[in-house]
Amino acid sequence: MQLRQIIQAMDLKVLSGDPDQPVEVGMAYISDILSDVMARGVKGAIWITNQTHMNVIAICFFKSLAAVILPDGLAPDDSVLSKAREKNILVLSTTSSAFEVAGRLYALGLRGL
């Protein structure tokens, strides 16, 4: 499924990055343990996390993740968003819980790693 279709279907708020980039996404991963994402994250996956600090942007960049979704209305501070814009990292937010986000992504056809 195209990333822009996921953003529209889930009414996700774009905090940084280009939501119209032509990215095919088939997997999602949920974890708040950064070393876990570094070890298991795969290129093009969506990452769901409650973490909002600079290391999230670094991991997204180094693992070439398609996007990160922050649940529960979470948002990083301005310095983190500035780095995300600089690295063209798509940071998305929603008021839904992480559980709901994972369920909706599954219903859209995405699977876990």
Dump pLDDT digits (tens) for 33-42: 999 999 999 9
Dump pLDDT digits (tens) for 40-72: 999 999 999 999 999 999 999 999 999 999 999
- The answer for residues whose C-beta is within 8 angstroms of residue 9's C-beta and 6 or more apart is 104, 108
Query: Rounded to the nearest 5°, which phi and psi values hold at 8?
Result: -70, -45
| Residue-averaged pLDDT of the chain | 96
Tokens describing residue 69: 């979704």
The mean pLDDT value for 12-31 works out to: 94
Domains of the chain: 3-112 (3.40.1390.20)
Q: Which of 49, 5, 51 is nearest to 25 (CA)?
A: 5
Return the amino acid letter for 21: Q
